[in-house]
């Protein structure tokens, strides 16, 4: 170490320093310029980064490594004072392992290709560097040391996506919207046209929603800025919500059907005709079945449709009775008749976003609310 330190302090021996560090002469020149302010500090890391530990700073790293520049994770109290320098990539892999409950699950969730042995080996290296066991392998369980480290790194890694989005939005502003296909196709174009007049440089990215839990994950991970979708009593953890409008649920029957009311249908107790509806695990269908049970009826035969439009089409084709949402009172689908569902909870549409709403998120939510007031004045929710 003393030989290398002498070489660093000698301007005539920069090439020797570059050889020792395994780096380019340009890096050596940069290191030579910081040797004088670093008097009294110990050169602790040659590769993969250059760093110094200042005893007076409580173990804070003042060096450069892996492109982090001046930004780095703050030291974990109790470890940094021993001179331990943790590899940020190892910390990232540990974060995924801890978050998803094991190495195999983490490999499936890590957003870049990496094999299970590589994850296992690099996390193992982290444990060796720290001299502690971070988790039990089978069954998976974080140790007290692992829980402490995870609590420290979790906010950093979970905030990276939103920070990246904010940085990119400065030069190339983009609003990423996800929602039901019906909303994106039939109602949002009018609103986006208004938005373009207010934000001429704003770009839009539209994404059809899958399951609600998937949409919530997109929002939490910074993959979407705002979602317009069915909302319920409780806002998901970490997200914010506003209700916009509530639409009644209805049954659809072929025009040739003799059915006149829902009460007449429910009197059967066990309904024989197929129910055509959205995916049975969707919240709107689950709630319908809960309230149907309260009516003392069951509906065992279900035909799943991927959209509300398909529900109407299958009903018109005579394939069963449809569960749908009444969006337009004046609509008269061909070969289909509406049967009201009194006493059943309506479908409430709203907006969900993460954290403090940006200017563009606030603007699009306000425009959607104004559109709802003009289009469905009787069904708009109070702000």
Residue 182's contacts (CB-CB under 8 Å, 6 or more residues apart) are 307, 308, 309, 327
State residue 168's pLDDT score: 63
Per-residue confidence (pLDDT) for residue 319, from 0 to 100: 94
Fold classification of 162-246+348-375 (topology level): D-Maltodextrin-Binding Protein; domain 2 (3.40.190)
Q: Supply the mean pLDDT for the chain.
A: 79
Whether the domain at 162-246+348-375 and the domain at 249-345 fall into the same CATH topology: yes
Q: What digits encode the pLDDT tens for the residues 177-196?
A: 998 888 899 999 999 999 99
The candidate with the shortest Cα–Cα distance to 328, out of 376, 278, 369, 289, is 376
Find the mean pLDDT for residues 111-124: 92
**What is the per-residue pLDDT for 111?**
87
Helix axes 25-33, 2-9, angle to 10 degrees: 90
Tell me: pLDDT of 15 over 90.
no
The Cα–Cα gap between 380 and 383 comes to 9
The domain made up of 249-345 has a fold known as D-Maltodextrin-Binding Protein; domain 2 (3.40.190)
Confidence of residue 141 (pLDDT cuts 50, 70, 90): very high
**Which pLDDT band, with edges at 50, 70 and 90, does 143 fall under?**
very high
Burial, 290: exposed, middle or buried (Cβ in 10 Å; 0-12, 13-18, 19+)?
A: exposed
**Is the confidence at residue 313, as pLDDT, over 90?**
yes
Summarised one tens digit per residue, pLDDT across range 42-67 is 333 333 333 333 333 333 333 333 33
356: Cβ contacts below 8 Å, ≥ 6 apart: none
| Domain ranges (residues) in the chain | 2-70, 88-158, 162-246+348-375, 249-345
175 pLDDT band, cuts 50/70/90, is very high
Query: Tokens 């609103």 sit at which residue?
Result: 191
Look at residue 247 in the predicted model and tell me its pLDDT. 95
48-62, 91-105, 233-247: least confidently modelled range: 48-62
Q: How confident is the model at residue 170 (pLDDT cuts 50, 70, 90)?
A: low
pTM over 0.75: no
Residue 294 pLDDT more than 50?
yes
Topology classification of domain 88-158: Arc Repressor Mutant, subunit A (1.10.10)
């Amino acid at each position: 170490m003393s030989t290398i330190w002498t070489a660093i302090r000698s301007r005539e021996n920069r090439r020797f320093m570059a050889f020792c560090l395994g780096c380019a002469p340009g890096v050596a020149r940069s290191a030579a310029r910081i040797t004088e302010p670093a008097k009294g500090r110990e050169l602790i890391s040659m590769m993969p980064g250059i760093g110094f530990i200042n005893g007076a700073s409580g173990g804070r790293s003042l060096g450069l490594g892996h492109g982090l520049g001046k930004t780095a994770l703050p030291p974990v109290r109790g470890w940094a004072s021993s001179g331990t320098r943790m590899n940020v990539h190892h910390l990232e892999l540990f974060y995924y392992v801890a978050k998803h409950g094991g190495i195999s699950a983490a490999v499936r969730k890590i957003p870049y290709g990496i094999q299970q042995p590589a994850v296992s080996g690099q996390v193992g290296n982290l444990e060796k560097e720290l001299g502690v066991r971070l988790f039990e392998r089978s069954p998976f369980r974080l140790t007290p040391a692992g829980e402490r480290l995870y609590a420290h790194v979790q906010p950093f890694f979970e905030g990276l996506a939103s920070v990246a989005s904010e940085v990119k939005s400065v030069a190339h502003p983009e609003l990423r919207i996800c929602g039901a296909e019906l909303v994106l196709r039939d109602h949002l174009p009018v609103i986006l046209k208004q938005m373009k007049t207010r934000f001429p440089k704003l770009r839009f990215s539209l994404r059809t929603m899958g399951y609600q839990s998937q949409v919530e994950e997109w929002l939490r991970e910074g993959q979407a800025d705002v979602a317009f979708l069915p909302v319920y009593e409780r806002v998901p953890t970490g997200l914010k919500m506003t209700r916009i409008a509530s639409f009644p649920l209805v049954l659809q029957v072929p025009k040739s059907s003799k059915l006149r009311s829902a009460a007449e249908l429910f009197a059967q107790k066990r309904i024989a005709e197929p129910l055509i509806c959205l995916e049975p695990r969707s919240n709107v269908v689950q709630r319908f079945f809960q309230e149907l049970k309260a009516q003392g009826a069951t509906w065992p035969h279900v035909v799943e449709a991927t959209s509300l439009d398909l529900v109407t089409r299958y009903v018109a084709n005579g394939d069963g009775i449809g569960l749908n949402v009444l969006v337009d009172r004046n609509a008269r689908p061909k070969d289909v008749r509406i049967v009201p569902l009194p006493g059943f909870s309506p479908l409430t549409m709203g907006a969900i976003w993460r954290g403090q709403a940006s200017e563009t998120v606030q603007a699009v939510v306000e425009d959607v609310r104004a559109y709802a007031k003009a289009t469905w004045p009787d069904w708009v929710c109070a702000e």
